Chain A
Amino acid sequence: MKHSAFFWFVLPSAVLMLLFIALPIVSVVTQSMYAAHEQVVVTVESCGPFGCTESTAVDQEATQALQDEEPLGRFVGSEIYTDRNHLAVGEIGTAWVNADGLPDFGRALMNLPFYNALAFTLAYTFIVTPLTIIAGFLIAIAVNSVAKALKGPTIFFSLLPMIVTPLVGALILFWMVDARGVLGTALQWLADDPSLSVKADTTLMWIMLMVYGVWSSAPFAFVVFYAGLQTVNQDTMEAAVIDGASRVERIRYVVIPHLMPLTTFVALIQLMDNFRVFEPIVSFQAQAHAFSLSYAIFNDLQGETRLLSSAAATSVLTIIGVAILLSPVLVRTYRDFSPRT
């Protein structure tokens, strides 16, 4: 392709990526390095239906003057990144000195919101991603061997979790595992413990969220693997049959090597998706038990006073996290596709 043709070909997508991906990231990084102005607070008397009280209020005129001077706010550099609600550098130092052994240090670490969120996010990512790939692969193999007449309906039902809106799917499950729901009651009966409640127990809640994660994203892996299965070389398959390979051996030595590049692709997408786990926590109202990085961002923006800089800093840390997480896969893909010398 000529250079000029290539330039015009990629220009629209390059401009869109610049506008809608690069610029917002620049803006978020900038925001994360600025904090609100020092508020000029004055003591005032406020009155209402229940009488008058001494209270404080922001002095609007003085604050406005400060704002006009520096519209972006006060530059604080990396202060927000290192504060207690993010990397908590100072708190970790203190905890390290005061900790009575490693377990005690671990407890202190998990008490800090960022590390607590990171722990759940990483656990979720590294448990759900492989399980999704395995589940998707098994479904694809199973559907592929179903009789032709049944294939259509089977594929449709296997895709259902992906068709249902994530929030709605999670809500349905949320009510089913309620102590009075179908699954909740079944669990109580199985465990022979009438006080068992998934929503009240942190471990069970984590398992629930992960089961939901696998359930909702397995169809994606299934679709990709199913498409890949259609391209398996039939000659190789027949040769394997003639050589006396069993079904398991054929899958192990023919199908899986053929699907390996697809596995890398699915892993890449799933790692990204799972690292920003958010909807299940909202629908399962699980914030008391599980806190993810994305939920932390949402939480900062949701309060009566929005913490914009704090949310921006968490966003930047999440982007860095995704980059670190994806780097091995990206390096591997780069190696696979670069010309061999």
Chain B
Amino acid sequence: MKMMRTALLGTAMAVLSGTSALAAGHGCDVTEGRINIVGNEFPAIQSVAAAALSCANGIDAESNLTADHQTINLPGMQGNPAEYTSAIVANSSIVALINEDVIRPLDDLVAMYGQDIPARQLITIDGKVMAVAFMANAQHLVYRKDVLEQIGMDVPTSYEEVLAAAEKIRAEGIMENPVGGAYAAGWNLAEEFVNMYLGAGGAFFEPGTANVSINNEQGILALETMKALTEYMNPDYLTHDSNATSAEWEAGNVALMNMWGSRTGVLMDDEGSEMAVYSNTVAGGPLTVGDSGVAASTLWWDGWTVAKNISDAEAAATFQALAHATSPALLNDETMSQAVWLMDGYEPAPVNEGVLATVAAGANPYPMLPFMGLLHSALGDNLADYLQGNESAEQALADVEAAYTTAAKEQGYLQ
């Protein structure tokens, strides 16, 4: 009898350990519903989407990761049933989805399947969970250690110091255009102004309203600093987006630039550039402008949402798969350095230090306002005239305000 009991216990133990081994190896198993994820295309998001799709067991599961995700996520979620069950968005692009009411509050799903998600990952608006963030991103200084040593200057902490260092690098004949930056007319240029204006201590709107107010001292300081920087940039800067700016860096033409944390990994690996360039590339902290003491950068998160116009089973499947894909289970040697992950168990790599320094410096998050997208577009369309010397800073800012106000009236934010 005793032997029998021992044998039974042994079997039970084996079954138990077997189950837990299965759970550790797979961790999620979704057998009902449908998963279809749309999102941007870079390594961190690719890892998340792949992990989410691996949860699907016998159900339709696909992802559409593309740089054009913003133009397709809204139309793809407006239908009923929606084509996409989830969109991976950032704090700027979630606004368009909320404005059009195509994503669902996640509170009940969090209660059912997501008790393990730490509160800091939950994006709540008016008390309702609308997205789950999994990584942070920000722009910060990237510099060439060897070039700064050569001119004998410390790592710049403000744009004024960047300008001084740039002048010295040019004067010593090391580089003709030592400053880089994603200043391509349109979204990129507007983003640089947003950083600079917040760094100068400005606020975009009159508090609590959609009335824009940027034609002020801070706005002019931001524009003048940007123009001063462009004097040290490749003359084609108005066509350089983040990709082109990274290429300039890898070609060894640039020593100082404000760049996205998510792109520093590419700059510091041994692909695409010579050893002298990549081994001396260092991610620094955020820069300041003027004497406001605020970092001239914005904090961004990337997170996932769940569509509104889908069945509850599809929503549950999507939620479970993505919750698993953005849990500590995602982190391994390969994925660890892909981003500044917000999950527990994340260990920062040198490439991510810039973003962490920006968070630590208390930079402002990119404003999550329904009408911020309109202002961003207006900025992108109207600032190039000033940088090219066609008009004054006041005129450029007045044009932005006028273009924004017209668009905001059309969209019903202003009367």
Chain A contacts to B: CB under 8 angstroms: 35-39, 41-51, 53, 55-58, 60, 63-64, 74, 80, 83-85, 91, 111, 113, 178-179, 195, 197, 199-200, 202, 284-289, 299, 302-307, 309-310
Contact B370 A288 (CB under 8 A): no
A49 CA to B367 CA, complexed, in Å? 14
Contact B369 A56 (CB under 8 A): yes
Contact A49 B120 (CB under 8 A): yes
**Closest B residue to A110 using CB positions:** B390
Kindly state whether residue B127 has any CB partner on chain A within 8 Å.
Answer: yes
Can you list 29 A-B contacts (CB < 8 A)? Answer: A35-B409, A36-B410, A36-B411, A36-B412, A43-B208, A47-B123, A48-B120, A48-B122, A48-B133, A49-B299, A50-B299, A55-B367, A55-B368, A58-B98, A85-B407, A113-B403, A195-B235, A199-B239, A200-B236, A202-B388, A287-B186, A288-B238, A288-B239, A288-B388, A305-B96, A305-B373, A305-B407, A307-B374, A307-B407
Contact A304 B377 (CB under 8 A): yes
**Which of these, A36, A44, A50, contacts B301 with CB under 8 Å?**
A50
Contact B91 A48 (CB under 8 A): yes
Contact A179 B95 (CB under 8 A): no
Contact B236 A197 (CB under 8 A): yes
Q: Which of chain A's residues have a CB closer than 8 A to the CB of B125?
A: 44, 46, 55, 57
Interface residues of B in 359-378 (CB under 8 A from A): 359, 365, 367-374, 376-377
A49 CA to B132 CA, complexed, in Å? 10
A307 CA to B74 CA, complexed, in Å? 14
* CB within 8 Å for A35 and B368 given contacts A49-B120, A179-B235, A285-B184: no
A24 CA to B2 CA, complexed, in Å? 84
* CB within 8 Å for A48 and B413 given contacts A42-B126, A113-B381, A304-B92: no
Contact A178 B359 (CB under 8 A): no
Kindly state whether residue B93 has any CB partner on chain A within 8 Å.
Answer: yes
Contact B411 A307 (CB under 8 A): yes
**Closest A residue to B399 using CB positions:** A111
User: Number of B residues whose C-beta is below 8 Å from A?
Assistant: 65
Kindly state whether residue B395 has any CB partner on chain A within 8 Å.
Answer: yes
Kindly state whether residue B342 has any CB partner on chain A within 8 Å.
Answer: yes
* CB within 8 Å for A85 and B403 given contacts A302-B71, A304-B92: yes
Nearest Cβ on chain B to A308's Cβ, whole angstroms: 9
Q: Which of chain B's residues have a CB closer than 8 A to the CB of A56?
A: 208, 210, 369-370
Q: Which of chain A's residues have a CB closer than 8 A to the CB of B377?
A: 299, 303-305
Contact B373 A84 (CB under 8 A): no
Nearest Cβ on chain A to B351's Cβ, whole angstroms: 19
A178 CA to B237 CA, complexed, in Å? 11
A240 CA to B178 CA, complexed, in Å? 67
* CB within 8 Å for A47 and B407 given contacts A179-B235, A288-B384, A304-B376: no
Q: Which of chain B's residues have a CB closer than 8 A to the CB of A289?
A: 238
Q: Which of chain A's residues have a CB closer than 8 A to the CB of B342?
A: 49
A35 CA to B413 CA, complexed, in Å? 11
